[in-house]
Structure 1
Amino acid sequence: MDSLTQIVLGASVGEAVLGKKVGNKAMLYGAIAGTIPDLDVLSRNFVDTVTAIEWHRGFSHSILFSLMFAPVFGWLISKIERKSAANWRDWTRLMFWGLFTHPILDAFTTWGTQLFWPIDLKLAFQNIFVIDPLYTVPFLICLILAMRLNRVSDKRRRLNKMGLVLSSSYLIITLILKWFTYNKFINNLEEQGVEYTEIATRPTPFNTLLWTANVDTKNAYLIGNYSLFDSQPVRFKAYPKNHELLGKWSDNDKVRRLINVTEGWYTVEKNEGLLYLNDLRFGLISMQEDESRFAFNYEIRPTANDEVQITETPKYEGGDPRKLFGALWYRILGN
C-alpha cells in the first residue's frame, strides 16, 4: 500500500499495543515501524533494475525481518525514551506488530509480498489497489480524533479500535467483491466461447467498483473490465504475446528473471530495434479505449559482451491526469 496508508496502520497498531502507557509516542513509533519495510526501494540506487524489483517487498517484508529487527529497534527506542514508562520488551512488541502488519496489508495488493522469505512463495490476493481512499480516509479520521484525546481515555481506545475495524471490514468486503466479479468474468468468457488457461482479476486504481481481468489464451492475453454498474457484457481486448520476439534473449539471465517477476503475465513489443517487455499484472495506464501503454514497461537494450541492459520506462510521459481520471470515472459508472 501507499506510504500514508502504512503510516496510518502502523500508528494505529502502535496505539493499540502501547498507547495507554506512552500516549502519542506509541503512534509515532508505530508509524515509523510501518514505514521501515518500504525502505527497500532505496536499493534501486545501488543495484540494477531487475535486482531492485526482485528485492522489493522481499526480505524487509518478511516475518523473519520482523522477528530479527523488532528487538533491535525496540532497544534503540528504549535508549531514546529512557524516561518512558515502557521498557525494551514493550517497545519490541510495538515494533514487531508495526513491522509485521505492513507486509500483511501489502499481501492484499497486486504486487503482493514475500512474507515467508527466503521461501519462494509470494502472497498476492489482488483485492485492493495500492491507493484506496475508502480504506485509508476513514481510518485516518479515526486516528486523528483518537490522538487528540488523553492517553487513558476509553473514547481514545474506542476510536482507534473503530479505525482498525472499519479498515479490516473493508478488506473483507473487497474479497467478497473480488469473488463476485471473478464469477462475472468467468460467466462472460463462457458465454462468449473463449478458451483460456488462466485468469487473474484485480481492482482498478483508487476503487473497488471497477475490476479488470487478464485472461491467458493461446497466442494472446485478453483484458476486460467489469463495473458493478455494468449492464452490458464484458468486452475483452486482445494483446498478442509476441514472446518469440525475445529470440536469443529469452535465455538471458536478466530477461528470465524479469519474466519470473511478471509471473508469466507479459507481452513483448519491438520498436526501433529495441525490445520492450510489458508487465500485464498492473494493467494499462488508463481506461481510454485506444490506450495501449502498460503501467509497467521495461526496455531491453543489448550491450557489449552479448548482454542486455534492462530499464523501466517512464509511466505517464505526456499523459494528462485529468483525462486519465476522467476516463476511469466514466468507466466506473458502467457501460
Structure 2
Amino acid sequence: MDSLTQIVLGAAVGELALGKKIGNKAILWGAIAGTIPDLDVITKWFFDPVRANELHRGFSHSILFSLLAAPLLGWVLAKLYKNSHATWRDWTLLMFLGLFTHPLLDAFTTWGTQLFWPSPYKVSFKSIFVIDPLYTLPFLLCVVLAMRLKRENPKRRYYAKSGLIISSCYLVLTVAIKGYTYSKFEASLIAQNIEYLDIQTKPTPFNSILWTANVQTADAYHIGYYSIFDRTDTIEFSIIPKNHHLLGASREHPLVERLIKLTEGWYTIDQQEDSLLFNDLRFGQLDFEDPESPFVFSYELYYNDNELHAKEPEKKFRDGYALLKKLFNRMGGI
C-alpha cells in the first residue's frame, strides 16, 4: 500500500501496543516502523530495473525480517527512552507489530509480498489497490482523533481500535467483492464460449467498485471490466495478442527468463524499431478504455555489444484528470 496508509496502520498498532505508557511516542514510532519495510526502494539506486523489482517486497517484507529487526530496534528505543515506563519487551512488541502489519496489508495488493522469504512465493490476494481512500481516510481520522487526547484518556485506545476494525472490515469486504466479480467474469466467459487457461481479477485504481480481469487463452489475453453497479452481466473483452514468438532465440536468455518469472507468466511482446517491449499485464494499462494504451509496467529489451539489456521506457505524460473522470464514470456502471 501507499506510504500514508502504512504510516496510519503503524501508528494505530503502536498506540494499541504502548499508547497508555508513552502516549504519542507510540504513534510516532509505530508510524516509523510501518514505513521501514519500504526502504527496499533504495535498490533502484544500485540495481537495474529488473533486479530492483525482483528485490522489492522481498526480505524486508518477510516474517523473518520482522522477527529479527524488532528486538534490535526495540533495544535501541529502550536505550533512547531509558527513563520512560516502556521496557525493551514493550518496544520490541511495538516495532514487531509495525513491521509485520506492513507486509500483511501488502499481501492483499496486486504486487504481493514474500511473507515467507527466503521462499520465492509471493502472497497476493489482489483484492485492494495500492491506494484506496475508503481504506485509508476513515483510519486516518481515527488516528488523528486519538493523537489529540492525553495518553490517560481511554478514548485514545477506542479510536485506534475503531480505525483498525473499520479498515479491517473494509479489507474483508474487498475480498468478498472480488469473489462476487470473479463469478461475473467467469459466467460471461462461459456465455461467450471463450475457452481460457487462467484468469486473474483485481480492482482498478483507487476503488473496489470497478474490477478488471486478465484472461489467458492459447495465444492471446482477453481484458474486461465489470462494475458492481453494472446493469448487464455481459462483459466485453478486448483481445491483446501474446506475441511471445517475437522473442525468438531470446526466449531462452536468462534476463528474459527472469522477466517471465517476475510477471508470473502474464506478459505480452510488442515489436519496436530496434527493440522489443516486454509488457507486464498484472498492473493493467494507463488508459483502461484504450486497448492500445501502454501498460503501467513495461521493459524495453535491446542489444548492446551483443548483450541483452532491459530498461523501463520513459512514460509519456497523460491527462490524469481526464483518466480519473473516465474511471469514475465507468465505476457508475453501464
Tell me if both proteins adopt one fold, taking TM over 0.5 as the criterion. Answer: yes
| 1:157 aligned residue | 157
Other-structure match for 2:208:
208
Name the CA distance, whole Å, in 2 between partners of 1:303 and 1:227: 45
Q: Is the 8 A contact 2:111 2:124 kept in 1?
A: yes
Distance 1:124 1:290 in 2: 26
- Counterparts of 1:231 and 1:308 in 2: how far apart (Å)? 49
Q: Deviations over 1:192-239 (max 9, x none)?
A: 000001000000000000000000001100000000111231100000
RMSD of equivalent CA atoms? 1.0
Other structure's SS at 2:261 match: helix
Deviates more, 1:149-158 or 1:110-119: 149-158
Amino acid aligned to 2:7: I
What is the aligned partner in structure 1 of residue 318 from structure 2?
A: 319
The answer to whether the Cα contact below 8 Å between 1:11 and 1:26 also exists between their aligned partners in 2 is: yes
The within-5 A match list for 1:1-335 is: 1-232=1-232, 233-289=234-290, 291-304=292-305, 306-315=306-315, 317-335=316-334
Determine the C-alpha separation between the residues in 2 that align with 1:67 and 1:58.
15
Q: SS of 2:256's equivalent?
A: helix
Q: What SS does the aligned partner of 1:287 have?
A: coil
1:152 Cα deviation (Å)?
1.8
Report the AA paired with residue 297 of structure 1.
S
Shift of 1:155: 1.1
**Alpha-carbon deviation of 1:292?**
2.2
CA distance in 2 between partners of 1:290 and 1:250 (Å): 25
Q: Deviation at 1:302? A: 0.9
Letter in 2 for 1:278: N
The answer to whether the 8 Å contact 2:70/2:99 transfers is yes
Give the residue type in structure 1 aligned to 2:5.
Answer: T
The CA deviation at 1:108 is 0.1
What displacement does 1:252 show?
Answer: 1.2
Point out the more displaced range, 230-239 or 21-30: 230-239
Q: Does the aligned pair in 2 maintain the 1:288–1:324 contact within 8 Å?
A: no
Q: Distance in 1 between matches of 2:197 and 2:291?
A: 26
Could you tell me which amino acid in structure 2 is paired with residue 237 of structure 1?
S
Unmatched tracts of structure 1, length 5 or more: none
Shift of residue 289 of structure 1?
3.5
Distance 1:332 1:286 in 2: 14
Contact 1:252–1:307 (Cα < 8 Å) also in 2: no
Q: CA deviation at 1:75?
A: 1.2
Deviation readout 1:71-90 (Å, 9 max, x if unpaired): 11111111221221112111
Q: Which runs of 5+ in 2 are unaligned?
A: none
TM-score normalised by structure 2 residue count: 0.98
Structure 2 residue identity aligned to 1:324: L
Deviation string for 1:66-112 (max 9, x for gaps)? 01111111111112212211121111111011100000000000000
Q: Is the 2:275–2:302 Cα contact (8 Å) retained in structure 1? A: yes
* Identity, % of aligned positions: 57
Normalised to the residue count of structure 1, the TM-score between the two structures is: 0.98
Equivalent position SS for 1:118: coil
